[in-house]
Amino acid sequence: MGCQADLRSLGATIIDPGPHGALFQSCVDKYVPLYRNKLFTAQFTCFMLLNYSVRGLLLGNAYIDERERELRDRATAVAYRVLTGAVAVLSTYAVAAYLFKLGLPMPSTAQQLLLLLIPLGWLATSLPQSVLAWTLPDPEA
């Protein structure tokens, strides 16, 4: 209780986290299971398949030769150009929606914003592998 008294004396407002010590636990219990099962499982499966398809090029410089290193670096450069374009489009959309009040749909809750940012995170982490998978020739059978 000493810390709370010190915080109150500094002007901080102490919020009671609720009966079980978790401030937003009812919201988490309500929404997380709904999205975690379907969305996360599908996205994680696709991400792992992409990693498996180009696994040799993700081991690091000690395990790949110069040609493979060049392929990996080129794929990373292409991926970040695409990602920069995607972030620029999203940023322009957000600025236009906010400044010009055009009636464009925008996330109104933290959950909606999170559901928009999660795919952007998956895109950022899987785009180099995707570029490699699209550009590399099929392995000989």
Q: What residue spans define the domains of the chain?
A: 18-135
Is pTM, for the whole model, over 0.85? Answer: no
User: Crossing angle of helices 110-135/66-99, nearest 10°?
Assistant: 150
- Per-residue model confidence as pLDDT tens for the chain (141 residues): 556 667 678 777 766 666 666 666 666 667 666 556 666 677 777 777 766 666 665 566 667 788 888 888 898 899 989 988 988 888 888 888 878 877 777 777 877 777 777 788 888 888 888 888 888 887 775
Secondary structure element (H or E) that encloses residue 90, with its range: helix 66-99
Give the tokens for residue 57.
Answer: 């090029």
Distances (CA, A) of 98 to 35, 64, 90, 113, 135: 28, 47, 12, 15, 39
